[in-house]
Amino acid sequence: MNRKVNVGVIFGGKSAEHEVSLMSATAIINAIDKEKYNVVPIGITKEGSWMLYSGPIEQIESGEWEGISNKLLKDKPKENVFSIIPVGKEDHSIEQVVPMGLANKIDVIFPALHGPYGEDGTIQGLLEMADIPYVGAGVLASSLCMDKIYAKKLFELEGLSVVEYVVVLRNKLKKNMGEYIAEIEEKFEYPVFIKPANLGSSVGITKAHDRDEMIKGLNEAAKYDRRILVERSIECREIECAVLGNDDPMASVVGEIVPSHEFYDYEAKYFDDGKSKLIIPADIPKNKSEEVRQMAIIAYKALDCTGLSRVDFFLEKETNKIYINEINTMPGFTKYSMYPLLWQETGLPYDKLIDKLIKLALERYDDRY
């Protein structure tokens, strides 16, 4: 391809991680090599409307892009690359997004989306149907990694250690709260962690130190998902490793997070003014670092990941045992996020990392048949 490659960067979305996506997209667009790539920013509002954006890049992170895009659409409606077509109900309250000629304009998509509708296989399925290459994991890997429960089951099948857990169903929570409490208290001592099965950036996660907090935590997690994960709490260090590649993935150096809060929650990750510390490389024994890197590759391959993923681990302080926590197929991508920082320390700077990810997306697309 001799001409510049047209890269569509999709940001925003309907998930609770909308604002994080704006931060990631801004960093990606600013850093991408403009000599090699034409960037086409595509925003999705919290309501699910798709808009082509051509305003100032700095107004993506602030959220001002949406008002600018709305004005552009009113002035030049034909510039919208998607057509919103009402289907299904007479009052047109359901809308379906249908690609209109997008494949002729975009060579590859960088979906800078986090959480449901962006990291769970849904946008990946849409892009597969539109026959457009895209950065990151495919449909199956995206959905499996997003689902903490099924990811744990597959980790266990691969012989990787996971922290013990109990699954709670939202539709049975009101009638069976007492039974769930009894099961959890019989299996674990307090504190316990409570997580929605399908969500990222620690949204909806709480740490319960007693029964009252556990009930509140279960109800909080139930706002986000129909299935809830309750895990045994361990005294640990939070260790992360970045993986890059398709069929022959590579693992980065290992990093450690020292959260400013009791655990690395949403506020600590993105809005604590740098109080949480990222230690790269992690100050752990070399054999433990190598064990983490090997486990990261095993997990990455087991769930059929491609492109990129950040694999998160716990290093138990008392036993020095490593537990795999989860895989994030589209981790935070600001210049200060763990994934690009790990690769920078490994020898791959941010702009080169973006370039590599685009090439991996095109390679995977060309290798389909």
Query: Among residues 367, 126, 344, which one has the least CA distance to residue 356?
Result: 344
pLDDT (average), residues 17-30 = 94
Residue 246 has pLDDT above 60, yes or no: yes
CATH number corresponding to 165-232: 3.30.1490.20
pLDDT value at residue 88: 32
Count the residues in the chain: 369
**Residue scoring higher pLDDT (75 or 309):** 309
Q: What's the farthest any 2 CA atoms get from each other in the chain? A: 65
pLDDT for 74: 52
What's the whole-number mean pLDDT along residues 136-145?
Answer: 96
What average pLDDT does this structure show over 181-193? 95
Do residues 196 and 224 lie in contact, with contact meaning Cβ atoms separated by under 8 Å? yes
How does 314-327 read in b/e, with b if 16+ C-beta sit within 10 Å? bbeeeeeebbbbbb
Q: How confident is the model at residue 103 (pLDDT cuts 50, 70, 90)?
A: very low
Which contacts qualify for 57-62: CB closer than 8 Å, 24 or more apart? Answer: 57/26, 57/29, 57/30, 58/26, 60/11, 60/22, 60/25, 60/26, 60/29, 61/22, 61/23, 61/25, 61/26, 62/22
Domain 5-134 CATH (choose: 3.40.50.2000, 3.40.50.920, 3.40.50.20, 3.30.70.260) = 3.40.50.20
Q: Return the pLDDT at 96.
A: 32
What CATH code would you report for 145-161+235-366?
3.30.470.20
Residue 352 to residue 354: CA distance in whole angstroms = 5
Nearest to 68 by CA among 58, 54, 80, 79: 54
Look at residue 184 in the predicted model and tell me its pLDDT: 96
What average pLDDT does range 296-320 have in this prediction?
97
- Topology alike, domains 145-161+235-366 and 165-232: no
pLDDT in the model for residue 21: 95
Return the structure tokens found at 275. Answer: 């109080």
N-terminal to C-terminal alpha carbon distance within the chain: 19
Query: Is the pLDDT at 295 greater than 70, yes or no?
Result: yes
Instruction: Please give the Cα distance from 340 to 343 (Å, whole number).
Output: 5
SS3 for 328? strand
Q: Say yes or no to pLDDT of 81 above 50.
A: no
Rg, Å, the chain Cα set: 21
Looking at the predicted structure, is the pLDDT value of residue 307 above 70?
yes
Closest CA to 30 of 333, 310, 358: 333
Average pLDDT (71-96) is 39
Domain boundaries, the chain: 5-134, 145-161+235-366, 165-232
Burial of 40 per CB tally in 10 Å (0-12, 13-18, 19+)? buried
Cα gap 169→213, rounded to integer Å: 18
Split at pLDDT 50, 70, 90, the class of 100 is very low
**pLDDT-above-90 percentage for the chain:** 72
What does DSSP say about strands 108-111 and 5-12: parallel, antiparallel, or unpaired?
parallel
Rounded to an integer, the average pLDDT of 320-331 is 96
Q: Please, which pLDDT band fits residue 368 given cuts at 50, 70 and 90?
A: low
Instruction: Work out the pLDDT band at 275, boundaries 50, 70, 90.
Output: low
Tell the residue number behind the tokens 């051509």, with chain if given: 54
Q: What is the pLDDT of residue 262?
A: 60
**For residues 241-257, average pLDDT:** 97
Question: In the predicted model, is pLDDT for residue 130 greater than 70?
Answer: yes
